[in-house]
Structure 1
Amino acid sequence: MTAQKAQLEQQLWNIANTLRGKMDADDFRDYILGFIFYKYLSKKMELYANEILAPDKLSFSQLSGHAQEAVYMAAVKDAALDKLGYFLEPSELFSELARRGNAGGKHQFILADLAKVLTHIEQSTMGTESEDDFGNLFEDLDLTSSKLGKSENDKNELIVKVLTHLDEIDFDLENTESDILGDAYEYLIGQFASGAGKKAGEFYTPQQVSNILAQLVTVGKDKLKSVYDPTCGSGSLLLRVAKQVKEVSSFYGQEMNPTTYNLCRMNMIMHDVHYKKFDIKNEDTLERPQHTDLRFEAIVANPPFSAKWSASPLFTTDDRFSDYGKLAPSSKADFAFVQHMVHQLDTNGTMAVVLPHGVLFRGAAEGHIRKYVIKNYNYLDAVIGLPANIFYGTSIPTCILVLKKQRADKKEVLFIDASQNFEKVKTQNVLRDEDIQAIINTYKAYTNGQFTEAEIEKYSHVATLAEIKENDYNLNIPRHLDTFEEEEPVDLVAVSKELQELAEQSKSTDDTIANFCKELGINTPF
């Protein structure tokens, strides 16, 4: 399975590179992921239609021209809209468009037909329960863009080439136990993120970090009623949580960037999350939250670091912020996201959020909010310091805050310093499997009340609330955990002897140069 997955990932990346050089990373990402998604929808449609038609010994491709074509097509459409959330006719399937594009051994013009098919996928859902989940999904796949080529024929030639290559790949969708395609899609998103520089943080959380967050919020659970990400990007965090448990009943998310919002919905569907099980909204979470009437069992997030927000005085009466008496500063929305997540967290829920290190010690309004969360609510459960340079587009060190509402009479907070545990890969620092496992094992021991096992010299400390109060609610990890490493003593006698030897070697070299200069009849350079 691993070899098959690696092969598929490489095949898809090779096809993506067909578009490389024609446009920048963001643009060819949108095209290749859009076409892969179109092929996925087509194959799912064909497989489901064949399943419905099997009792009548028919296949989907055989309906065209059948005496009862209209009756069968109407029945298939109704079933597909309920089961899959969309409908495609046999002539609109990916394989059919790819075939027509290569009819007669030459590239035929299919751009107009392809544009109509992509529009029809969205239109087929209008007035149905899935309309919001499929609306405008392909709006970033602009087939008229000059980025595809100067002339219509140039554009068509490139698109046909990409569709042909994709059509040759078996997505293995018949294997219901496999999620190879979903993982490959996630791999491509990560590849684009790593090459997109600063913009990458808008839509992708590195899998190593997603893995930690997902495991933290699922400790002791094998099922979740709901999981929520208020800045869901491409949805990688939500999907990673699903991999940690047997079942997630509902997925919720909000994403401000329209392109990334579309990518998230595609990613959900590509991982076979039924459209009735996810609710992703395209809005600014802090300014216009869409799920405020709901409470979630698990919340994960990687909000944009120190983003700006309005901090409008009107928010002082907003239920998310009113208890605290102060709003996060307009120049740094980090704690505004924390407050929002705390408000949405269910009584038995756990939330884990990645933030810049500054949230641990900055003062003023942020210090006030931090103190309120710890002293008044007693929700803070753990503080985990991560290595610098593990996120795409920024080298700043980050941390994870874990918060719970059901801490009862718990009077301790776990501190973990994982900042020195990583492997350097090219220009990026990467958390290895053993680094991730060390974090999770330490947190599990702490959660189970095994404080002795959770206390690891130079790595972790279970601090009391009294200790945190003594530090004036400053959570900077070195204040609570001794991470000082003594340097080996310097042998001054040995250093002195080494310097003397160097001086003698230098004098010998100078004498040699002086002799050469004398023989050449020139002045010495010293």
Structure 2
Amino acid sequence: MTEAQKQKLEQQLWNIANELRGKMGADEFRDYILGFIFYKYLSEKQYIYANELLETEDIKDYALITDEEDIQAIKEESLLKLGYFLRPDELFSELSRKGNADTEEESNFILEDLQGILNSIEQSTMGTESEEDFNELFEDLDLNSTKLGRTVEARNTLIAKVLSHLDKIDFALEDTNADVLGDAYEYLIAQFASGAGKKAGEFYTPQQVSKILAKVVTLDKKRIKSAYDPACGSGSLLLRIAKEAEVSNFYGQELNRTTYNLARMNMILHDVHFSKFDIKQEDTLEFPQHLEERFDVVVANPPFSAKWKGKNNPLNETDDRFSQYGALAPATKADFAFIQHMLYQLNDSGTMAVVLPHGVLFRGAAEGKIRQYIIQEQNYLDAVIGLPANLFYGTSIPACILVFKRCRVHDENILFIDASQDFEKVGNQNALADEHVDKIIAAFQRRENIDKYAYLASLDEIRENDYNLNIPRYVDTFEEEEPVDLEAVVNELRTLETDMQETDTTIAGFCQELGISSPF
């Protein structure tokens, strides 16, 4: 698919989304349109796979199969291969046709059918390996919500219209070399994030920031056994890693139930097999779900300075993730708690990158103590990358990326990069262009001083600064102003004074000719 075709698909999907936009807020209509797209995706994957199984049969079109034995045989194979099952009469195209039928013989009422199909998809997985990945996946699609229409007929009409528009779009799923729908889905998630304000930070990391994190943790790696995100949101950051290297297994945890559902959908839509990802829904700091695992790569964009129980939970004092540092992150700022958790989950040769507010670089008290321990005792911190302000939805504060390695090659220094001035304006947001990302990655790879951009600080220098990592302490971005020529300024003032006197004389002459008093 060409770039123009891709953009056309994205625009088509956004236009369809706008059918719902006038009815509800961005975060609400997001759940509906992404849910409908996901249903269409599952349906088309089922149709394609079933037709493959029917290649040697008399009836080769799955939509025409009526024999129950054939349907059950296809179901058994589908549950192994796809992890779910749809009957021929449950296919998206069939439901869309019925919803837009206009005959006396057939009712176009599809709300109950649609709800039944969504329930059936989940129920088809019960007792199988994919059950957890599909459990209550469509729970946010409330087809009885008055936000879709005040009457049942109005809701039915709107949904039938949306399904009809979607049914006309070719997702090109048979092109195994392209991830057309996955990319379009990412586009929609980004569009919803831009309109969701503060809530967007719960589920989306700007694509270019994700790219930096993914490139940093995959440098010189073509294959990664396991990638983990303890605050995975929609899963986009994990999936971004797969664009840089081959990932065998994805792991993630997400607190928000709706976002957790979105992450599972996103994985499946990007053709990640249900056996290759394990996304859990729970509070990562209080109830970690993968604590016995160790990962090759760990990435995260956790909520900035979130609250957590800290000392209010006595168990944290003896928790292996936190106990060795001699302090717990403050209850009002969980930033270092996430860092400690992530370091605990990182394997001995792993790399970790996390996006955090600048406060983690210089705040004192418990955070200062933890920061010092990580640098002085563990020597895990490898690089600090300062980003521009106003990159993230929901907050305008500048952020930074901290890169950690358990087995550092350059263990005598820490690299500082100040990329805070490199951005472009996109509406009300700042954004990173490809050249800005490339510049950061190039500096990270070169690992040497670059005037006013990068600085390699020795551990002794860090120690002398009392483990304060504030970037301006290391990267000097001061620009000297041009020296002022005072003699030239004086001469210019004299010239202006002469011009003003001449102008005053001219005005006085005009006033005399008019027979009025001069203002001078």
TM interval, shorter chain, is over 0.9
- Alpha-carbon shift at residue 492 of structure 1 (Å): 2.8
Q: What is residue 253 of structure 1 aligned with on the other side?
A: 252
> Aligned AA for 2:460?
A
> Aligned AA for 2:203?
F
Q: What is residue 366 of structure 1 aligned with on the other side?
A: 367
Q: What is residue 172 of structure 2 aligned with on the other side?
A: 172
- Rounded to whole Å, the distance in 2 between the matches of 1:34 and 1:354 is 29
Pairwise mapping of residues 476-487 of structure 1 onto structure 2 (< 5 A)? 476-487=470-481
- Rounded to whole Å, the distance in 1 between the matches of 2:109 and 2:96 is 11
SS in 2 for 1:121: helix
> Aligned AA for 2:65?
L
> Aligned AA for 1:63?
I
Distance 1:155 1:507, change over 3 A: farther
SS in 2 for 1:438: helix
- Rounded to whole Å, the distance in 1 between the matches of 2:410 and 2:285 is 31
- Rounded to whole Å, the distance in 1 between the matches of 2:406 and 2:478 is 33
- Alpha-carbon shift at residue 424 of structure 1 (Å): 2.1
Distance 1:409 1:217, change over 3 A: closer
SS in 2 for 1:172: coil
SS in 2 for 1:150: coil
Q: What is residue 92 of structure 1 aligned with on the other side?
A: 90
Q: What is residue 270 of structure 2 aligned with on the other side?
A: 271
Pairwise mapping of residues 167-206 of structure 1 onto structure 2 (< 5 A)? 167-206=167-206
Q: What is residue 63 of structure 1 aligned with on the other side?
A: 65
- Rounded to whole Å, the distance in 2 between the matches of 1:427 and 1:156 is 37
Pairwise mapping of residues 196-235 of structure 1 onto structure 2 (< 5 A)? 196-235=196-235
Q: What is residue 456 of structure 1 aligned with on the other side?
A: 450
- Rounded to whole Å, the distance in 2 between the matches of 1:264 and 1:401 is 24
Which runs of 5 or more residues in structure 1 are unaligned? 447-453
Distance 1:466 1:16, change over 3 A: same
Distance 1:56 1:356, change over 3 A: same
Offset from partner CA, 1:207-226 (integer Å, 9 cap, x none): 00000000000011000000
- Alpha-carbon shift at residue 515 of structure 1 (Å): 8.6
> Aligned AA for 1:282?
Q
- Rounded to whole Å, the distance in 2 between the matches of 1:283 and 1:48 is 34
Q: What is residue 384 of structure 2 aligned with on the other side?
A: 383
SS in 2 for 1:352: strand
Offset from partner CA, 1:94-126 (integer Å, 9 cap, x none): 100100011127982111111111111111111
SS in 1 for 2:18: helix
- Rounded to whole Å, the distance in 2 between the matches of 1:419 and 1:92 is 52
Aligned residues: 514
Offset from partner CA, 1:54-107 (integer Å, 9 cap, x none): 12233212212xxxx222111111111111111111111110010001112798
**Higher alpha-carbon deviation: 515-524 or 39-48:** 515-524
- Alpha-carbon shift at residue 259 of structure 1 (Å): 0.7
SS in 2 for 1:269: helix
Distance 1:445 1:44, change over 3 A: same
- Alpha-carbon shift at residue 199 of structure 1 (Å): 1.0
* Aligned counterpart in structure 2 of residue 74 of structure 1, from 62, 72, 91: 72
Offset from partner CA, 1:169-226 (integer Å, 9 cap, x none): 0111111111011000000000111111111111000000000000000011000000
Q: What is residue 420 of structure 2 aligned with on the other side?
A: 419
- Rounded to whole Å, the distance in 2 between the matches of 1:523 and 1:303 is 73
Q: What is residue 450 of structure 1 aligned with on the other side?
A: none
> Aligned AA for 2:308?
W
> Aligned AA for 1:157?
T
**Higher alpha-carbon deviation: 146-155 or 307-316:** 307-316
- Alpha-carbon shift at residue 464 of structure 1 (Å): 1.1
Pairwise mapping of residues 154-169 of structure 1 onto structure 2 (< 5 A)? 154-169=154-169
* Aligned counterpart in structure 2 of residue 469 of structure 1, from 457, 460, 463: 463
- Alpha-carbon shift at residue 371 of structure 1 (Å): 0.4
- Alpha-carbon shift at residue 509 of structure 1 (Å): 7.1
Q: What is residue 489 of structure 1 aligned with on the other side?
A: 483
Offset from partner CA, 1:411-436 (integer Å, 9 cap, x none): 11111111111222222221121111
Q: What is residue 449 of structure 1 aligned with on the other side?
A: none
SS in 1 for 2:56: helix
Q: What is residue 127 of structure 2 aligned with on the other side?
A: 127
Distance 1:426 1:519, change over 3 A: farther
> Aligned AA for 2:376?
K
Distance 1:330 1:510, change over 3 A: farther
The answer as to 2:350 corresponding to 1:349 is: yes
Q: What is residue 336 of structure 1 aligned with on the other side?
A: 337
- Rounded to whole Å, the distance in 2 between the matches of 1:10 and 1:161 is 17
The answer as to 2:445 corresponding to 1:444 is: yes
* Aligned counterpart in structure 1 of residue 101 of structure 2, from 93, 99, 103: 103
Distance 1:522 1:287, change over 3 A: farther
- Alpha-carbon shift at residue 352 of structure 1 (Å): 0.3
- Rounded to whole Å, the distance in 1 between the matches of 2:161 and 2:252 is 35
- Rounded to whole Å, the distance in 2 between the matches of 1:506 and 1:313 is 78
Q: What's the TM-score once normalised by structure 1's chain length?
A: 0.93
Q: What is residue 44 of structure 2 aligned with on the other side?
A: 43
Q: What is residue 137 of structure 2 aligned with on the other side?
A: 137
Distance 1:259 1:523, change over 3 A: farther
Offset from partner CA, 1:15-34 (integer Å, 9 cap, x none): 11111111111111111111
SS in 2 for 1:5: helix
Give RMSD over aligned pairs. 2.1
**Higher alpha-carbon deviation: 92-101 or 513-522:** 513-522
Distance 1:505 1:413, change over 3 A: same
- Alpha-carbon shift at residue 518 of structure 1 (Å): 9.3
SS in 1 for 2:261: helix
- Rounded to whole Å, the distance in 1 between the matches of 2:189 and 2:509 is 66
Pairwise mapping of residues 5-16 of structure 1 onto structure 2 (< 5 A)? 5-16=6-17
Distance 1:93 1:372, change over 3 A: same
> Aligned AA for 2:482?
E
Which runs of 5 or more residues in structure 2 are unaligned? none
- Rounded to whole Å, the distance in 2 between the matches of 1:135 and 1:512 is 88
Distance 1:53 1:465, change over 3 A: same
> Aligned AA for 1:25?
A
